[in-house]
């Protein structure tokens, strides 16, 4: 398999769709500069699919449904802490 690591910019939304190759393995989410990013190990030749990513702030209610934890990200400029999940 010809894999590589790609990064995807996340918007400041509770729920968003990120298009990436099928079977991409999400590795991490972090701030880079003033933006949120998600990194994934991908096969660039694979067909693309949408993945549902959720950002939940500390103290906010969790959405309903099953999800997989990705990472916790601190936003130092505003002292916010976000918890990033992939909804199933």
Every domain of the chain and the residues it spans:
4-87
Answering whether pTM is above 0.85, one says yes
pLDDT tens figures, 35-81: 999 999 999 999 999 999 999 999 999 999 999 999 999 988 888 99
Check: CB of residue 34 under 8 Å from CB of residue 80: no
- With a CB cutoff of 8 Å and minimum separation 6, the contacts of 6 are 20, 24, 39, 40, 42, 44
Which residue in 15, 33, 35 sits closest to 84, CA to CA? 15
> What pLDDT score was predicted for residue 1?
63
Q: Which helix (H) or strand (E) holds 51?
A: strand 48-57
Check: CB of residue 78 under 8 Å from CB of residue 68: no
């Amino acid at each position: 398999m010809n894999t590589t690591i790609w990064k995807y910019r996340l918007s400041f939304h509770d729920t968003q769709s990120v298009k990436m190759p099928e079977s991409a393995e999400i590795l991490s989410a972090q701030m880079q500069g003033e933006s949120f990013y998600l990194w994934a190990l991908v096969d660039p030749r694979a067909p693309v699919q949408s993945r549902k990513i959720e950002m939940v702030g500390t103290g906010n209610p969790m959405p309903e449904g099953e999800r997989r934890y990705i990472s916790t990200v601190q936003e130092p400029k505003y002292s916010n802490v976000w918890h990033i999940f992939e909804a199933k």
